[in-house]
Amino acid sequence: GNSVTQMEGPVTLSEEAFLTINCTYTATGYPSLFWYVQYPGEGLQLLLKATKADDKGSNKGFEATYRKETTSFHLEKGSVQVSDSAVYFCALKVDAGNMLTFGGGTRLMVKP
Amino acid sequence: EPEVTQTPSHQVTQMGQEVILRCVPISNHLYFYWYRQILGQKVEFLVSFYNNEISEKSEIFDDQFSVERPDGSNFTLKIRSTKLEDSAMYFCASKSQGAVEKLFFGSGTQLSVL
């Protein structure tokens, strides 16, 4: 079956530090990959996506590259801000179905 | 930006009781979803709904669950006889016809079954 594994949190960083949140996946077929973010008190929001191998998704300074050879989609940001504090979810979708398969979420806490 | 609205934000109920979780999707959206997240576990897909019928559902979505779009704006999830293990955060989501993958999520309803 399909599954997503991401590093457990919380991840605590100082402002301007480099961020990596690891995500690996198992999927039948060729999935599309996503990162969603949930800020406190809000719903999940699409942060970025990649639909095929070697694609790089980027948004708001965050990046993730679809690595088929390592079945990974690690999230990175060069310099985090306090406002980036949130829970980050890695997810995949295969074929034309509507179902997203999520990882467990990683809480990021950025201290000033 | 338009948003998906869920009510209530918290719901406490006794085991065996029926609960209805309510969602108002974004007005021009056509695809509707429910997901849930049990504390400490992954966000799990429950059901998708399109053109007034269920288009896909997971193993979790058994006979105790039902969804309905009773009017042009609301999308509800009903649990007929709640169990302790139904305690979770329930997320509603919607997307438009043209948005292949961008789901808009509500902020969730925390259901606690006692």
User: One digit per residue, pLDDT tens: chain B, 114 residues?
Assistant: 778 999 999 999 999 999 999 999 998 898 999 999 998 888 999 999 998 999 999 999 999 999 999 887 899 999 999 999 999 999 999 998 765 668 899 999 999 999
**Chain A: closest CA distance from residue B1 (Å):** 12
- Do the Cβ atoms of B4 and A43 come within 8 Å? yes
Asked if residues B74 and A8 have their Cβ atoms less than 8 Å apart, the reply is no
Is the peptide bond prior to B25 cis by the omega test (within 30 degrees of 0)?
no
Does the pLDDT at position A41 exceed 90?
A: no
Task: Identify residues of B whose CB sits under 8 angstroms from chain A CBs.
Answer: 3-4, 6, 31, 33, 35, 37, 40-45, 48, 55-56, 58, 91, 93, 101-108
Task: Give the CA dihedral A63, A65, A70, A71, nearest 10 degrees.
Answer: 90
Cα distances (Å, whole numbers) of residue B62 to B5, B59, B80, B86? 25, 7, 11, 12
- Do the Cβ atoms of B43 and A105 come within 8 Å? yes
**Chain A: closest CA distance from residue B15 (Å):** 27
Asked if residues B94 and B29 have their Cβ atoms less than 8 Å apart, the reply is yes
pLDDT of residue B101: 67
Chain Cα centroid distance, residue A4: 10
Q: What is the pLDDT of residues A75-101, one digit of tens each?
A: 999 999 999 999 999 999 986 667 899
Q: Which of B48, B55, B107 sits opposite A43 (nearest CB)?
A: B107
